[in-house]
Each structure stands twice: as structure tokens, then as C-alpha cells.
Amino acid sequence: MTTRLIGVYLVIIFGLMCVYAEEELYSDKYDNIDIDGILNNDRLRNQHRRCYIGLAPCITADMKFYKKFIGEAIATKCRRCTEKQKQNLNKLADWYVTNKPEEWNEFIAKMIEAQREKNRGR
């Protein structure tokens, strides 16, 4: 085999590796949740927050879905998020930082703690 042919094969293999190494995004199943409705409703907002930090059960399908990856999403700056999930997380962060910074700090601390626990288990 010629050096040129080997080079072509290596380029093709490297290209395929890059394509398959790209991380899969989180499912977009609940991308259209009404984030504004949740943030503007004390009861709903508190249910979601308490679910995510482990103080209350996650009672809806979307809560259970987001609880699975919200810590990782925050830790990785939403690397695997869809565009809509990034928008929703930014809106969530902005709202909490502006309106309930102490709850946001508690939330972030719990997410960091949960991510550390998850990483220890690997």
C-alpha cells in the first residue's frame, strides 16, 4: 500500500471517529414545558425545585425526566442540551439569581454535591 493511500484511510477513519464521538443530546421530549408558567407560580416552582434537590418527590413525568440530568447539565454548561433546554436553563438561572438568590445557591450546591456523588460511583 502506498503512503498516500494509508494517509487517505487515516483521514477517513479519523473523520468517522469524530462523528461517532460526538455526544448525544438529551431527549427533547419535554422541551416545550412552560418555564414561565412554572417560574411565576410559587407552588409549581417550589415543587420543581424541591424535587431537583431531593427534598420532595418528583410527581410529574417532566420533573422525573429533568431530575436525571439537571446536575450534569449545570456542571457541563449544558454541553448535551438542546437549544431549547439551554434557553430554559438560562431563563431559570436568571429568574432565580434575580428573585431568589438564596434558593439558587442552595440549588447549585445540591447539584454539585449530587454530581460529585455520581462521579464517585463510576
| pLDDT band of 97, cuts 50, 70, 90 | very high
Give the 3-state DSSP-derived string for the chain, with helices as H, strands as E and coil as C.
CCHHHHHHHHHHHHHHHHHHHCCCCCCCCCCCCCHHHHHCCHHHHHHHHHHHCCCCCCCCHHHHHHHHHHHHHHHCCCCCCCHHHHHHHHHHHHHHHHHCHHHHHHHHHHHHHHHHHHHHCC
Res 19 pLDDT > 50: no
Res 117 pLDDT > 90: no
| pLDDT band of 20, cuts 50, 70, 90 | very low
pLDDT digit string, tens, across residues 29-85:
999 999 999 999 999 999 999 999 999 999 999 999 999 999 899 888 999 999 999
Res 7 pLDDT > 60: no
The hierarchical CATH code for the domain 25-121 is 1.10.2080.10
Instruction: Give the pLDDT score at 121.
Output: 77
Res 18 pLDDT > 80: no
Res 8 pLDDT > 70: no
